[in-house]
Amino acid sequence: MKVIVYEKQKKSAELVLREVSKPVPSDHEVLVRIKAASVNALDYRPMQMGVGMPRSGIFGADIVGVVETVGVAVSAFKPGDAVMGDISGNGCGGFAEYVAVPEDVLIHKPAGVSDEIAAAVPVAAVTALQALRDKGNIQAGHTVLIYGAGGGVGTYAVQLAVYFGAQVTAVCSARNRAMIQSLGASEVIDYALEDVTASDRRFDLIIAINGYHPLLAYKRILAPNGIYVMVGGSLRQIFKSLIFGPFMSMGSRKMRALAAKPNVKDLEFVMALVASGKVRPVIDRRYPLEQTAEAMRYVSEGHALGKVVITI
Ligand SMILES: NC(=O)c1ccc[n+]([C@@H]2O[C@H](COP(=O)([O-])OP(=O)(O)OC[C@H]3O[C@@H](n4cnc5c(N)ncnc54)[C@H](OP(=O)(O)O)[C@@H]3O)[C@@H](O)[C@H]2O)c1
């Protein structure tokens, strides 16, 4: 089978196409013939930082495909089933023609949702859900600021916040304004023209996904009892949130950091919204498996609008 593997070359390491033997599923595993995958920060960040590489050298957390064979102890799936999942908790391996994964990381792909659309969902949408609902305690009527709304996580965060009945202010570039408005944001701010953290606005919930502002600047625009959730952005922002967040949460306003986890119940929840048309995955570009390195490069530049999908 074909795989894209991160390999040491003479002077550097590169993503290269290789032919390897198909994995054999163990008793509790399912062998999936992958039809589509998508790129996330957790795929290219380890290459940038030099840590957290998957043991197999094969990246790819979001997978969609068809069950080829199952181990003897597998009960939830059978050959021919359309499945999907986030396999980042099991060493990744989605940028390949086949992968063997435990059955408990997969769900059935809802009928009527295409492979490419489904591949754009797991990591980004579940991250947005866990940020809004679990860390952010979102409630109907809340005023929610989504900072960095244009990417994979951001486009889901806007739509899920609207689904939960919040009033959404989204921050993105002028290029993405129309798209973000079409996802239900009541107000869109161009980050090049306006610094919302310097305004007299107040928000019940702030989800910081991309871009950089100091934690104190975000805290200043939180309403009393408001919650700030750091999802991503610059490494500086991530480290500061982890270190100073707990100290800055002494009063009524809370500063939290999210570490999203793969969760099949959460994935089923968002897939039901996708299948019913309440949430619409936004796909920027599609690349064939052979061009995965190019896809990773494009996403790592930080300006994709929504998701980038790998077709296999
Ligand atoms: N905490 C967790 O558990 C967790 C889980 C998943 C992801 N993350 C993190 O979440 C972040 C977003 O992931 P993603 O997959 O959504 O990334 P992404 O798709 O690569 O995000 C790209 C988007 O970011 C926007 N952007 C870039 N610079 C910006 C700025 N200065 N201000 C506002 N928006 C800006 C871009 O808009 P323009 O092109 O318009 O600038 C583009 O639409 C990453 O840092 C990732 O590591 C964290």
Give the model's confidence band at 28: pLDDT under 50 very low, under 70 low, under 90 confident, else very high.
Answer: very high
pTM more than 0.95: yes
| Kind of pairing between the strands at 2-8 and 13-19 | antiparallel
Domain contains 274: no
- For residue 12, give every residue at least 6 positions away whose Cβ sits within 8 Å of its Cβ, in sequence order, or none: none
* Across 141-160, average pLDDT: 98
Clarify whether residues 83 and 130 are in a common domain.
no
Range of the domain at 211: 124-257
Clarify whether residues 27 and 9 are in a common domain.
yes
Report the 3 state secondary structure along 124-145: HHHHHHHHHHHHCCCCCCCEEE
Task: Give the pair of three-digit tokens for residue 200.
Answer: 């007299």
Give the model's confidence band at 267: pLDDT under 50 very low, under 70 low, under 90 confident, else very high.
Answer: very high
Q: To which residue do tokens 């399912």 refer?
A: 30
124 Cβ inside 6 Å of ligand 1:
yes
User: Residue 48: its pLDDT value, please?
Assistant: 84
User: Residue 281: its pLDDT value, please?
Assistant: 98
41 Cβ inside 6 Å of ligand 1:
yes
Angstrom distance (rounded) from CA 49 to CA 61 = 18
| pLDDT tens readout for residues 41-51 | 999 988 888 88
Clarify whether residues 56 and 109 are in a common domain.
yes
171 Cβ inside 6 Å of ligand 1:
yes
Count Cβ atoms below 10 Å from residue 141 Cβ, excluding itself: 10
203-207, 217-221, 247-251: the lowest-pLDDT one: 247-251
User: Residue 98: its pLDDT value, please?
Assistant: 98
* Across 129-135, average pLDDT: 98
Q: What is the CATH number of the domain that holds 27?
A: 3.90.180.10
Clarify whether residues 44 and 152 are in a common domain.
no
* Across 140-168, average pLDDT: 98
Domain contains 156: yes
- Which bin fits 72, alpha (ψ -120 to 50), beta or left (φ > 0)? alpha
| Kind of pairing between the strands at 29-38 and 62-70 | antiparallel
* Across 241-247, average pLDDT: 77
User: Residue 211: its pLDDT value, please?
Assistant: 85
Give me the chain's average pLDDT, please: 95
* Across 108-128, average pLDDT: 98
233 Cβ inside 6 Å of ligand 1:
yes
User: Residue 42: its pLDDT value, please?
Assistant: 94
| pLDDT tens readout for residues 291-300 | 999 999 999 9
Clarify whether residues 110 and 151 are in a common domain.
no
260 Cβ inside 6 Å of ligand 1:
yes
Clarify whether residues 115 and 146 are in a common domain.
no
Q: Is 108 buried (19+), middle (13-18) or exposed (0-12) by CB count in 10 A?
A: middle
- Model confidence at 243: pLDDT above 90: no
Distance from the first to the final alpha carbon of the chain: 11
Domain contains 225: yes
Helix axes 264-275, 152-163, angle to 10 degrees: 70
Name the residue with the closest Cα to ligand 1, atom 40: 173
Domain contains 272: no
60 Cβ inside 6 Å of ligand 1:
no
Clarify whether residues 154 and 183 are in a common domain.
yes
Clarify whether residues 180 and 238 are in a common domain.
yes
Count Cβ atoms below 10 Å from residue 162 Cβ, excluding itself: 18
- Distance from residue 153's CA to the centre of ligand 1 (Å): 7
Q: What is the CATH number of the domain that holds 183?
A: 3.40.50.720
Across the chain, where does the E strand assignment appear?
2-8, 13-19, 29-38, 62-70, 82-86, 98-102, 106-108, 143-147, 167-172, 187-190, 203-208, 222-230, 254-257, 283-288, 307-311
Domain contains 63: yes
Clarify whether residues 112 and 130 are in a common domain.
no
- Model confidence at 241: pLDDT above 80: no
- Distance from residue 119's CA to the centre of ligand 1 (Å): 18
Give the model's confidence band at 237: pLDDT under 50 very low, under 70 low, under 90 confident, else very high.
Answer: confident
Clarify whether residues 8 and 102 are in a common domain.
yes
Q: Which residues sit opposite 172 in a β-bridge?
A: 190
